[in-house]
Amino acid sequence: MYAIIGLGNPDNKYAKNRHNLGFMAIDELARKYEAPAYENKFDGQFTRIEIGGRRVFLLKPMTYMNNSGIAVAKLRNFYKVAVEDIFVIYDELDLVLGKVKIKQAGGDGGHNGIKSLDSHIGKNYWRIRFGIDHPGYKDMVTSYVLSDFTNGERKEVDTRLESIAKNAELLIKGDRELFLTKFYEEFKEESK
């Protein structure tokens, strides 16, 4: 069993924020794999899909970003999902918009959602960092991540989230290099 977690904040006023990129990714996976309607479970919005013959749980924690680990720990403890089989998708200030990096374990990079996960389930899960750019100044970070993507940015983000969903089977099968290769190849083709 596997779990893919998207980080974000639950209120509608945050729905289109850069900081809610993880929720957007989970919604795209649910759409692509025709998931059942979300249930309110594990302090989050929960559903399940099948990818490549494997059962995958999808979760959007409703505990607010800073307490995301509470919801993830509840899901993990209930289904006994190994930490190594959990993928967390979240926004990354230190990557350009649309760039994706995948890494197992590591530091929190100052991301409060990741800090919460580390404290509740340990660090050995997979991090899918999705670039949202940096506003340029540290004192602008909070207002920047809690602002909406522009229309142009959102179009690019949606296209890249579709690519993540399309190639998710490679992640689940453990072929992360091929996942990234396919992800970036699609955008090279698009820009020709």
Return the active site residues: 19
Helix-helix angle 151-166:176-191, to 10 degrees: 140
Which DSSP string do the residues of 67-122 spell out, in sequence order?
Answer: GHHHHHHHHHHHHT--GGGEEEEEEETTS-TT-EEEEES---TT-HHHHHHHHHH-
Residue 148: DSSP 8-state? B
DSSP bridge partners of 141: none
Nearest C-alpha neighbor of 128 from the set 76, 165, 74, 158: 165
3-state DSSP assignment of residue 60: strand
DSSP bridge partners of 104: 126
CA angle (185, 186, 190) in 5-degree steps: 115
Measure the CA–CA gap between 33 and 165, rounded to whole angstroms: 8
